[in-house]
Amino acid sequence: MKTAVISYSLTENNDRLAKFIAEMFKLDHIRITEEKKRSNAIIALDMLLGRTPKTKPSLQVMDQYDKFIFLAPIWMGKVASPLRAYLKHLKSLRKSYSFYSISGGALGPNPKVGKDLQKLTGKKMSNMQVFLIVDLIGGSRKPTSEETSNYRLSDQDIHQLSMMIKQALEKA
């Protein structure tokens, strides 16, 4: 069974974590990029209107794999828009997937992500975990959205999160 790790990341946090997981399991890592850079205001508008930006590589890159491990941030309670086309393409494929995310969390948890994923793909995922940067920062006060957006995963964070993902994947 051929598995690919597919990631999108605006801040590089999810991509760095995906790269580490791909190397740990000796899997291909497919990094999704946007064709044009967008401002935060356009990203928010696209999320509200349900628009998906043009991305690279093409969706057909998925056709050669049997299983997928997706990593991407959660924006406004939904999977980041650049990854959404790949998740929708999964609907036409009879292939399984897992989803993991490292997201800010300054506005609280995102309880509807599982339903969003199931709606996009037409199927339930094998495993899903959303890790929050607010939990990594810790401390007595709650970090702001700006602080969580500016946070970059340390090597220790990546190792810790990847071990949790490894355990989840081995159980699935």
Q: Domains of the chain: which residue ranges?
A: 3-171
pLDDT at 40 over 90: no
Which CATH superfamily hosts domain 3-171? Flavodoxin domain (3.40.50.360)
d(CA 109, CA 134) in angstroms, rounded, equals 10
Cα end-to-end span (Å), the chain: 15
Confidence grade of residue 138 (pLDDT, cut at 50, 70, 90) = confident
pLDDT of residue 108: 77
